[in-house]
Amino acid sequence: MRVLVLREYESREFGGVRLSAADRRAVADERFARRLRVRELTGGRIEVSAGPHVGVVSLDGCEIRVEPKYLGAGLDVLRMVHHAVGTAPEALAVPRTFSDGAPQLRDLVALMVTTHAERLLARGVRRDYVRREEPLPAVRGRLLPDRQLLRHYGQLDRLACRYDDFDTDIVDNRVCAAAADLAARTTSSLTVRARARRVAGRFAQYAPTRPADVRADLARLSYHRHNEHYRPAHFWSALLLTGGGLDDLFGAGPLAARAFLIDMNELFELFTTRLLAEAATGTGLTVEGQSRHTHVLWNERTARPYSEVRPDVLIRGGTDALPFVRPVDVKYKLYATRKISTADQYQAFLYAHALARDPGDAPPTCVLLHPGGASGDRAAVAVRRWDGSTSARVRPVPLDLPAALGALESPRRAEFLSELLAEVTRRG
């Protein structure tokens, strides 16, 4: 199968590719088109336009790989996911497992699903009580007279019963079984495929019931002391089963098997919010992600909120006499080499005017956190009144993602987080 490679926000034409009828239905789906646009041209050519999603799409006529623009490879995206969800990166045997070259992102997630499933099997899968209703030759649990009369009248060898069974066929194991089966069918790595098939076969014995609705089963998951050790396996299973959706899920269906695409906009926001929250621990500052504010935009005629404002991050601190509030607008855009877009400026200035509070006479400031090297231009943009005084400021702060990942996995972690928080909250 031909492999087509492009980067985020890139549009390219490829020749010698013909889409099947199933391919055309898949790329025409609105959920697919929001992540990757594939347009069939004349002469056996297609045009592929990528946005902020990275990953792989498997079609009958070709395989499309979208690589990250600001990171080196899929493994770096996986490391970002680790940090975004608050878990420490594991020492994966990537060179040994993928000896035939750099792995694609879906293969790495399939490896994580398989690895965590193997650990659950080695520890022993969980059992729980499952309520069942079925006709039995002898009474077990509770006899259901109404069911007996309606369905098995006069059949003394078929008694309608309701009972609790202590079984392994529970939602915790069904999710892992479904993910292992999908990993075995979709990964391109022969090593991972062989391991996933073994795992899927064993889990199928414990949880033979296939999930009818992946979204519903994932929503039902809850954790306590008996299944807390399932949480990492469920996270990677959900990521694979939903086609890479960290929040906006593909859900069940053929698209999840064909496409694995992670939204880097969402991942970058989760990643930076987690870093700032960890950095603020013990400093007296609090970090709020996606906090809602209904008092900013006000309908004066009805005396009710007109709309809500939701900054990506809001950092609070200070005292009642000298309060400090710093809104942070997270943008997955390379603003170190180009100007801030007008729309992003308007949004950031709204946050600064309405939400920011700086002690003293300093103008309210909103930080625009974006990927970029430390040598990028950090010049702030100010809104000036008619008399030339500054009413608000937007200050870009670049975050070097490869350097950040390296620092987070080194003894410099605490120092790096402290420097990041100091840069975001500094005045001036």
Q: Provide the terminal-to-terminal Cα distance of the chain, rounded to the nearest Å.
A: 55
The whole-number pLDDT of residue 428 equals 66
Q: Is the pLDDT of residue 127 over 80?
A: yes
Tell me how far apart the alpha carbons of residues 404 and 96 are, in angstroms, rounded to a whole number: 26
Domain boundaries, the chain: 71-127+169-241, 129-167, 281-425
Strand ordering across the sheet containing 63-67? 3-7, 63-67, 53-58, 259-263
Per the prediction, the chain carries an average pLDDT of 83
Per-residue pLDDT averaged across 319-330, rounded? Answer: 84
CB neighbourhood size of 115 (10 A): 19
Per-residue pLDDT averaged across 250-262, rounded? Answer: 61
The whole-number pLDDT of residue 146 equals 86
Task: Check if the beta carbon of residue 342 is closer than 8 Å to that of residue 394.
Answer: no
The whole-number pLDDT of residue 327 equals 93
**Which stretch of 46-50, 72-76, 117-121, 204-208 has the lowest confidence by average pLDDT?**
72-76
Q: Which of 246, 215, 184 is nearest to 53 (CA)?
A: 246
Residues 6+ apart with CB under 8 A from 27: 19, 33, 36, 37, 38, 59
53 φ, ψ (degrees, to nearest 5): -90, 140
Per-residue pLDDT averaged across 287-298, rounded? Answer: 87
Tell me how far apart the alpha carbons of residues 248 and 246 are, in angstroms, rounded to a whole number: 6
pLDDT bin (cut points 50, 70, 90) of residue 197 is very high
Per-residue pLDDT averaged across 156-172, rounded? Answer: 86
The whole-number pLDDT of residue 121 equals 93
pLDDT bin (cut points 50, 70, 90) of residue 250 is very low
CB neighbourhood size of 25 (10 A): 12
For residue 305, the cross-strand partners are 298
Place of tokens 């490829």: 14
Where is pLDDT greater, at 103 or 206?
206
Residue 106's SS3 state is: helix
Residue 343's SS3 state is: helix
Burial of 343 (0-12, 13-18, 19+ CB in 10 A): exposed
Per-residue pLDDT averaged across 238-246, rounded? Answer: 74
Tell me how far apart the alpha carbons of residues 74 and 67 are, in angstroms, rounded to a whole number: 7
Q: Is the pLDDT of residue 247 over 50?
A: no
Task: Check if the beta carbon of residue 368 is closer than 8 Å to that of residue 396.
Answer: yes
The whole-number pLDDT of residue 68 equals 84
Rg (CA), the chain: 26
Per-residue pLDDT averaged across 223-249, rounded? Answer: 78
pLDDT over 90 percentage in the chain:
15
The whole-number pLDDT of residue 313 equals 92
